[in-house]
Amino acid sequence: MELMPSTCLVHKSLLYFMSGFMNYKAQKLLKEASKQGFYKPPGDNVIASLPTIYNCPDIVEELSSIWTEDIQPLIENHKRNLDIDYIVTKTKETISRLYPILYSNEFKNILNGNQTSSAVGQPELLEKRKALIQAALRYEQIHSVASKNKALKGPSDLTEFKPFSLKELDYDVWDTSRSKQDNFREQLRAKGLFDERAPGGA
């Protein structure tokens, strides 16, 4: 808790969403925790893409609306407001569905340092973004407000995507001697100097 910021501004309607994310991140980052500190986990698209999603007003405003209409009732109606595993699952699903659209033509600028910019001054682009977000979050979802609309298209029918890059999976965590050892082994492996089958791994 000492590492958490003293102030955090979150949409009221997305409190469960952010709670689910923080718990998901804690599970991932603490999974390899040891007495020596943190072990750097493998890249995770949920953790890596959340800042981009939450910093973009066009995404977060539509996300807030859809979460309130589609997901919040599931949490409340089934009395799962205290079931953190369920909330984590829904948060992970939501972010995973939004992740690909970050690479769509409509959002291509937000990955180039323009995360907080909005298309509010470009009505046509803004409508395309809203339609894409709705498609990403509601396509083939049986619990969705749009579930009765059989004509709802999938995201791939609405846009084109640029090739994904693994760079967005990089994020900073505390490094430890274990992580450095793994990196050193990878360097030896690349040079053909490390054989895991040999005694002692050498």
Mean of the pLDDT values across residues 174-194?
58
Has this prediction a pTM greater than 0.95?
A: no
pLDDT confidence of 175, banded at 50, 70, 90?
A: very low
With vertex at residue 144, the alpha carbon angle to CA 101 and CA 122, rounded to the nearest 5 degrees, is 40
Encode pLDDT of 131-167 as tens digits. Answer: 999 888 888 887 777 666 666 777 777 777 765 554 4
**Helix intervals (H) in 31-110:** 45-55, 57-66, 72-77, 84-98
How many C-beta atoms lie closer than 10 Å to residue 160's C-beta? 10
Residues pairing with 34 in the sheet: 37
83 secondary structure, DSSP code: -
Six token digits for residue 109: 């600028």
Express each pLDDT in 26-66 by its tens digit. 888 777 665 566 555 567 888 888 988 998 999 999 999 99
Are 75 and 87 spatial neighbours (Cβ–Cβ below 8 Å)? yes
Percent over 70 (pLDDT), the chain:
66
Residue 17, burial from CB neighbour count under 10 angstroms (0-12, 13-18, 19+): buried
